Structure 1
């Protein structure tokens, strides 16, 4: 099937010689199919050679493709005609509002430089972030694979003294659609001075390593959803590409060794053994078919990142608040993951459900202790039991009011009865305190017709105050599937024995941050009862004004100074993944709130 290229990008005679079938834009527009939209970010010095190599691999597919080329606007290439680049290549600003089925980002001869020292690094980071929201599957080749792993996951690159150069044989580590039809071992050209260690990727639950060698590092890896594919080799290379690179290195006086497993009998004067073309063609075909064509939505505007929204206790304090939350969630299709706190205060003199649950627990614990004391304390024992039951009755009444006003009394009767029976039996403080979030999540899930996922099944703790990040991330990714709409209770998780363990108060912020981080969320919304972060306490000053935006450092400084605007421990989880944090008002969703993200990425 044809490629749709910019007019006059490559001479038609060259395309014919290379057996690259093309079609004009006008011809494509009159066909009753949607071409696959592919963006190629070409960072290689020899632009035209790389174009031909990639177009040859893409044209082997039966799919019709519309190709756009992108150059770095912040860097002026020295090995390519500026007039040609301006005529056929677009800049990031020209495509940043579009959506694409697929994107290829090539390697670049800058691997020995620190990422921050590369002239176009900031522009490339914007393109990496663009891939999350606007591209369904992105293929990173060689250096760009290393750069992307560093940007998204903080994975460092390792430098070698002797260039990784030649044709290397790899073993399949596991079956995967992108390796469908591959033999157990296959070959791939390599040309680089840096590599990524396999062990550095093992700790990232979103990533699977498909091939690796001790002397070259990772050869091929993908995210579990195939949105990102990291290929460290050059399957697109022509037969002569490594030979020409070897001669250039010698001309520069570099001590480059003969490419491994490339020349027959390792003789540069002899024949070249080309044994990677079939694997390369199959790899590109599989990527286009299984990672792009069969998965990408027909309407590209539906490509989006996961959004996690957390609603605080004041946002879900009563049935009327539930109705507001329901309306907010249903106002946007991409609010798929919901984290909730227990019911908060409905008025100044009201009590939070978690306070009532804590009072219930403390009363019950005191009553249990008094059972072993002498008869003189029995009166106190009975009083504490009464206090505990009254607190529990207040909790039950609160939830019964909510489900009754939402017309969910019958649907949730069994859940309420079972929960309060469990409360009466348990001796665990953490279990007692967690039931406010648990029931609120049950109610909201039923009201929204979302799936309920218990936090104990996805949030894993090593100890009371230490989160098991690896196990939690794996459980979240395994349990919450793409497109699934769920409600998760905040504030607690479970230890290795399956026992409920709560975080410190305000822990629902922490739960939401964990889930947003694990799912690489684009945005984490934190809904509460104030319109974002204010210049002063709005309860004490009428002159308090909303701060529309700030960076994470400013937020951290504000919290360290005593402002109770967000849980301190939850900040790093979203900051390190470059997730935008929005603090919004459930009672005034039309107000902008406060947006927190790193200034350099604005």
Structure 2
């Protein structure tokens, strides 16, 4: 991969000796590809040595890379040529209006200092925040990995009894595109006095630990989208880097053991054995190719016209998600009709509200049975009542938490909390289970200042328990019309007596589809927690890709093969009028998602 760097940054003889392929600006302009733009925030005292090590790793693939070197303006290192720094390095003020495909932030020999006591900590925090919004994928190396985890997630590092020093063997704990092609175990040069325990990541579902061991802590962690890569090792190190550190520490009178698994037979008098280069080169190549070059997102042109937008339970699982949904809805003027599901899981061990309500309904039925049993079973009845009441409170507190976080406590007290009295006394399973969508829609309507329209007034079931399409169409047109801003609960409707009738699970898809059909919408947006329909399960296959476009027939075939990506019955209404279906990600609204249309 050719690098575009300033002409006199490194002399030509060194570049040739190190096999670093560079290109001048004039030649790069003539190539018919866009160079990657990468910033290197160099915090190491030996700037030139670190530059050379990282440039060597970045130059091993076939793409152009445009390099910006970045320094701390709030700190002048003693070991660096100030004139050279000002000639070749930029400051945050120089780059703050830029966008980068990738960024590398190096380590620094300050790991035993408290973060707040570091002279450039405030400036580095500004760069961390810049990386969140302006860089597609950022790699943090060694100390900066610890600092970034502390800044973003408040994960603290710990001080090791002895320096973690040497070349350590790690097992690959998970499959991930950044370790694609790795052997089951691999070697990583490491040099630090601090570590982070693997247990500290258990509460962060967004983080994946790819390599760790008890004596070193974690070595490689990524976010699930690989936007952040926390690399605690030094694959970029030269053959003699650890040796030079060892000699330096000895000369300073420090108590230091030789780096383990580094010298032949672990004897400092013998030769050094390089055994980390292949893994290191593959790691940097994978990062550039799979996490940066192939994944940089782009936005498709927005589709004009009235739309129906459905947000799944994962999109509305808590108040933070409500805020994201509000931002998405208000980002386009034509998102007029909103269909919602009940709150989904907030974390791995959490439960979906609909599952809770189904369980609650089952509890109520069991309570009714227990009441008819003889006195000897009254003790069990008391236990079931207690369990039921706790579950009612659990569900009530979930919604109350959302209401309080959104500043809707008065609305909750005036209009919503009384729903739980009905739930508690009801034996109607469809009514109980439907209240998750009902309450979520009520809260979102109030939060958006939209009208709430109950699905029981829109979706009409006949005597056979099937949706009466024409009656439902007339009801939708009558209650919503052309220009009304409305939130509608998905998943249920009513029969001719007005009794609640629910769809099978996933029925919110059908609700949105019917409304889009009745209103002659041009597009039906279906928002969820993945970037559209994938080629395989992204939780099991790190190489899963988004399918850009499908026909209705192809979508039915995918569903027929067992993929739970969309409710099959919901295809027919939109297909009749060739309404475009868009499968989009609430947590990544800029992603183009999957478009379904004949």
TM-score, normalization by structure 2: 0.58
| 2:162 is aligned with 1:87 | no
**Counterparts of 2:96 and 2:231 in 1: how far apart (Å)?**
24
Q: Distance in 2 between matches of 1:118 and 1:227?
A: 26
User: CA distance change for structure 1 residues 355 and 107 in 2, over 3 Å: closer, same or farther?
Assistant: same
What secondary structure sits across from 2:186 in the alignment? strand
Q: Does 1:330 align with 2:405?
A: no
Residues 83-104 of structure 1: CA distance to partner in whole angstroms, max 9, x if unpaired? Answer: 1011100001111111111111
Q: How does 1:316-327 map to 2 (within 5 A)?
A: none
Q: Are the aligned partners of 2:339 and 2:490 in contact in 1 as well (CA < 8 Å)? A: no
Matches within 5 A, 1:481-500: none
Query: Equivalent residues in 2 for 1:220-259 (5 A)?
Result: 220-259=220-259
Distance in 1 (CA, whole Å) between partners of 2:221 and 2:133 is 20
Unpaired runs of at least 5, structure 2: 303-313, 317-321, 344-398, 404-409, 428-451, 460-474, 502-506, 530-538, 540-545, 550-585, 591-598
Match of 1:284 in 2: 284
Deviations 1:10-40 (A, max 9, x none): 1111111111111111221222210011110
CA contact (8 A) 1:357 1:395 kept: no
Per the alignment, in what secondary structure is the counterpart of residue 165 of structure 2? strand
Pair 326,34 (structure 1): closer, same or farther in 2 beyond 3 Å: closer
Aligned residue number for residue 268 of structure 1: 268
Alignment of 1:59-78 (within 5 A): 59-78=59-78
Alignment pair present for 1:404 and 2:479? yes
Paired residues of 1:442 and 1:452 also in contact (CA < 8 A) = no
Are 1:450 and 2:525 an aligned pair?
A: yes
Query: Is structure 2 residue 201 aligned with structure 1 residue 196?
Result: no
Task: Report the alpha carbon displacement of residue 157 of structure 1 after superposing the two structures with TM.
Answer: 0.2
Tell me, yes or no, if the aligned pair for 2:70 and 2:92 is still in contact at 8 Å.
yes
- Change beyond 3 A, Cα 1:330–1:77: same
1:130 shift after superposition:
1.1
Aligned pair in 2 of structure 1 residues 255, 23: CA closer, same or farther (>3 Å)? same
Asked whether 1:165 is paired with 2:165, we answer yes
Alignment partner, residue 210 of structure 2: 210
Counterpart secondary structure, 1:155: coil
Partner of 1:51: 51
- Inter-partner Cα distance in structure 1 for 2:588 and 2:328: 24
1:177, CA displacement in angstroms? 1.3
CA distance in structure 1 between the aligned counterparts of 2:8 and 2:479, rounded to whole angstroms: 69
User: Aligned residue for 1:595?
Assistant: none
Change in 2 beyond 3 A, CA 1:75/1:393: closer
1:10-159 counterparts in 2 under 5 A? Answer: 10-159=10-159
By how many angstroms is 1:396 displaced? 5.9
TM-aligned CA distance change 1:149 to 1:402, over 3 Å: farther
CA shift, 1:354, in A, is: 9.2
Supply the RMSD in Å over aligned alpha carbons.
4.9
TM-score in terms of structure 1 length: 0.58
Offset of residue 329 of structure 1: 2.8
Greater shift in the superposed pair: 94-103 or 289-298: 289-298
Change over 3 Å in CA distance of 1:62–1:443 after alignment to 2: same
Q: 2:455·2:489 contact (CA, 8 Å) conserved in 1? A: no
Report the counterpart of residue 552 of structure 2 in structure 1. Answer: none
Closer/same/farther in 2, CA of residues 62 and 366 from structure 1, 3 Å limit: closer
Deviation per CA, 1:431-468: give whole Å up to 9, x if none. Answer: xxxx99x99999799977221669xxxxxxxxxxxxxx
Contact 2:43 2:106 in 1 (8 A): yes
State the Cα distance separating 1:269 from its structure 2 match.
2.1
Alpha-carbon separation, structure 1, partners of 2:281 and 2:295? 20
1:111·1:193 contact (CA, 8 Å) conserved in 2? yes
Query: Pairwise mapping of residues 571-582 of structure 1 onto structure 2 (< 5 A)?
Result: none
Secondary structure of the 2:242 match is: helix
Runs of 5+ unmatched residues, structure 1:
303-307, 311-315, 317-323, 345-350, 369-391, 427-434, 455-473, 475-480, 485-517, 523-602
Indicate if the aligned counterparts of 2:315 and 2:528 stay in contact, CA closer than 8 A: no
1:407–1:183 Cα change, 3 Å:
same
Alpha-carbon distance, 1:424 to partner? 3.8
Q: 1:332 to 1:167 in 2, by over 3 A?
A: farther
- Show CA shifts across 1:521-554 (max 9, x none): 99xxxxxxxxxxxxxxxxxxxxxxxxxxxxxxxx
SS of 1:450 mapped into structure 2: strand
For residue 284 of structure 1, report the CA deviation from its aligned partner. Answer: 0.5
| 1:226 Cα deviation after fit | 0.6
Taking the aligned partners of 1:137 and 1:393, their CA distance within structure 2 comes to 42
8 Å Cα contact 1:235-1:277 kept in structure 2? yes
**CA–CA distance in structure 1, aligned partners of residues 153 and 547 of structure 2:** 20
Question: Conserved in 2, the CA contact under 8 Å of 1:101 and 1:296?
Answer: yes
1:332–1:64 distance in 2 versus 1, CA, 3 Å: farther
Matched-pair contact (CA < 8 Å) for 1:340–1:440: no
Would you say the 8 A contact 1:104–1:141 is kept in 2? yes
Partner of 2:26: helix, strand, or coil? helix
Cα distance in 1 for residues equivalent to 2:453 and 2:266 = 84
User: What secondary structure sits across from 2:101 in the alignment?
Assistant: strand
Cα gap change, 1:129 to 1:71, in 2 (>3 Å): same
Q: How many angstroms apart in 2 are the aligned matches of 1:337 and 1:87?
A: 56
Aligned 8 A contact 1:45 1:79 in 2: yes
- SS at 2:493 equivalent: helix
